[in-house]
Amino acid sequence: MEKLSLFAIRHNTDQTEGRGGFHTLYHARNQEIAERIISLPAFYKNYGVQGQSGAGIHVALQEIKILESIEDFLMAEGNRETLDALDKLTPRQRELLGLSSFCQ
């Protein structure tokens, strides 16, 4: 699993009163770029609460986890026992269970 620390460009889903939850639209590697994007009229007129600059839009540091396999997910969730049990299966047993590409 790969972990990236990126700056999320987020907006409030309620663009009338700003009482909704926040939704991530884009990610940037550089905080300065992300901050400049949300200050652009082309951005805040579409995503700011009532089209206002700085209203209901912000940048937040987020850790993005990129999973490359089912094993990555199980490891991230702390399911070591599940992985150990699956490792004991033969290739034929994995195939019968629909897990032919798992733990190879």
Local mean pLDDT, 10-residue blocks, the chain (104 residues) = 95 91 96 96 92 89 91 77 80 80 51
Residue 28 has a pLDDT of 98
Tokens of 89: 């299966």
Measured torsion, CA atoms of residues 73, 79, 84, 88, in degrees rounded to the nearest 10? -70
* pLDDT cut 90: percent of the chain above it: 53
Give CA–CA dist 91/3, Å, rounded. 30
User: Are the beta carbons of 46 and 15 closer than 8 angstroms?
Assistant: no
The verdict on pTM exceeding 0.75 is no
